[in-house]
Amino acid sequence: MRDAYHEDLDAISHVLVEMANLVGSAMSRATTALLDADLQLAERVIANDDAVDALYRDTEAKAFEILVRQQPVATDLRQVVTSLRMVADLERMGDLALHVAKVARRRYPASAVPPELRATILQMGHAAEEIVAKAGSVIARRDVDMAFELEKDDDVMDGLHRQLFQAMLAPEWANGVEAAIDIALVGRYYERFADHAVSVARRVVYLVTGERHDAPA
Amino acid sequence: MRDAYHEDLDAISHVLVEMANLVGSAMSRATTALLDADLQLAERVIANDDAVDALYRDTEAKAFEILVRQQPVATDLRQVVTSLRMVADLERMGDLALHVAKVARRRYPASAVPPELRATILQMGHAAEEIVAKAGSVIARRDVDMAFELEKDDDVMDGLHRQLFQAMLAPEWANGVEAAIDIALVGRYYERFADHAVSVARRVVYLVTGERHDAPA
């Protein structure tokens, strides 16, 4: 049986996985809202971000309480401190899903996505969902191999991101400035979402192996 | 005389102030590079981001070492943990200056900023410099009053950000899609830069007063 202290650490780890699920679901719905110009869905994503923020605050408070009361050392200390960083990444991912939903709301009843970019945005939405699902598994199972897989998914996201820009800067682009601005920002939200998921995975690798793979850009 | 332990904490605080200076200077130069299409200056901003990243890694390592070796409690513990968050904000601000410089480099020998937006971008650059200079003072002097001043500066930045979008979406906009994408992204870099500075200041307020003012968006 585990002691109360390690149960606290496990509880934090569970909340991180739950947050990964929540922000993955938020990004999935935000993508649908964006593609289908579904205002109701966009509003729900926007409203639900409060739940992510609440988990963020609770987890931060709980991690801090563990530091104060239990004075963890070595691996346990590293786990608590790393959790503080991961929870911040996940909270930010929730914000990015919210931003996508806000673009959908701003353009309603139109869709912010021109027909020729629907497939690319859909793929970016899928890539975002998959990468955060994997990040959740990495947290839950401390799966270092899967953490490296995320890096490849992030390359896919970067490739899709480049496709967006190629389409907007091609002579055939006939959707004007407003659509280009929306797509440029939305593209960046997806790309940053994936970056934060990679960052979460790298922190788990650091936790497990003691080796850093998170040279900042 | 202060003991070695508090000297370590002070050293971290000094590095945070130094990082605030570095990223402020980086954003100032990036703005000039952007407005003047100065490739050499842009390259220097891009190269110098390594120094910010190195300080980030050193500070993180040092904060962690303090946690492990000294097992700080109460206020000291809070200061170390808060420093870990602030150093991440400051590292990110360096990245955002780098992104502005990269837009300047990408458009060279042209300027990415159309003539009618030069004044607004210049003001955003100034607002960014001032807000990070204040954030540095807030860290150095634990000045809670100045921390609240930053919130007002951030409102100014948000107003300038809105001006950019109004200009790009006005019927008079004659600079095409590429310039609009550049400006939309650059506008977001400045706005995020200011957000991170506000976040740094809020963490100091939390450190000093124990009250949180950082409800995430």
DSSP H stretches of helix in chain A: 4-36, 39-70, 74-107, 118-141, 144-169, 176-209
A91 to chain B nearest CA, in Å?
A: 8
Averages of pLDDT over runs of 10 residues in chain A (217 residues) are: 80 96 98 98 98 96 87 85 94 98 97 96 98 96 93 97 97 96 98 98 90 57
Q: How far apart are CA B84 and CA A48, in angstroms?
A: 28
What's B108's DSSP letter?
A: T
Q: The tokens of B100 are what?
A: 């502005």
In this model, does residue B207 exceed pLDDT 70?
yes
Q: Output the pLDDT for position B116.
A: 96
B64 and chain A: CB distance < 8 Å anywhere?
A: yes
In this model, does residue B168 exceed pLDDT 70?
yes
Mutation pick from A181, A190, A202 vs chain B, by most beta carbons of B within 10 Å, is: A181
Fold of B4-209: Methane Monooxygenase Hydroxylase; Chain G, domain 1 (1.20.58)
Give the model confidence (pLDDT) of B8-20 as tens digits.
889 999 999 999 9
Q: How many CB atoms are closer than 10 A to CB B163?
A: 16
Q: Output the pLDDT for position B72.
A: 84
Q: How far apart are CA A162 and CA A215, in angstroms?
A: 23
B47 and chain A: CB distance < 8 Å anywhere?
A: no
The pairs formed by A42-51 with CB atoms below 8 angstroms and a separation of 24 or more are A42/A101, A42/A102, A42/A104, A42/A105, A42/A108, A43/A101, A43/A105, A45/A97, A45/A98, A45/A100, A45/A101, A46/A98, A46/A101, A46/A102, A46/A105, A48/A22, A49/A94, A49/A95, A49/A97, A49/A98, A49/B217, A51/A22
Q: Output the pLDDT for position A217.
A: 44
Tell which B residues from 157 to 176 touch A, by Cβ distance under 8 Å: 165, 168-169, 173, 176
Three-point CA angle B22, B24, B30, nearest 5°? 100
First to last CA, chain B: 42
| DSSP annotation string for A132-179 | HHHHHHHHHH--HHHHHHHHHHHHHHHHHHHHHHHHHHSTT--SHHHH
Reported as type and span, the H/E element at residue B130 is helix B118-141
B51 and chain A: CB distance < 8 Å anywhere?
A: no
Axis-axis angle for helices A4-36, A118-141 (nearest 10): 170
Q: How far apart are CA A74 and CA B195, in angstroms?
A: 33
Residue with tokens 């966009």: A42
B119 and chain A: CB distance < 8 Å anywhere?
A: no
> Which chain A residues have a beta carbon less than 8 Å from that of B53?
215-216
In this model, does residue B103 exceed pLDDT 90?
yes
**Residue B109 preceded by cis peptide, ω within 30:** yes
> Which chain B residues have a beta carbon less than 8 Å from that of A74?
68
Contact B88, B199 (CB under 8 A): no
Q: How far apart are CA B102 and CA B117, in angstroms?
A: 19
Q: How far apart are CA B67 and CA B97, in angstroms?
A: 31
Contacts of B2 by beta carbon, 8 Å cutoff, 6+ apart: B10
pTM for the model: 0.93
Q: How far apart are CA A117 and CA B29, in angstroms?
A: 36
- Round the CA-based radius of gyration of chain B to a whole number and report it: 19
Cβ distance A53 to B215 less than 8 Å, yes or no, reads yes
B45 by Cβ neighbours in 10 Å (0-12 / 13-18 / 19+) ranks as: buried
pLDDT band at residue B3 using 50, 70 and 90 as cut-offs: confident
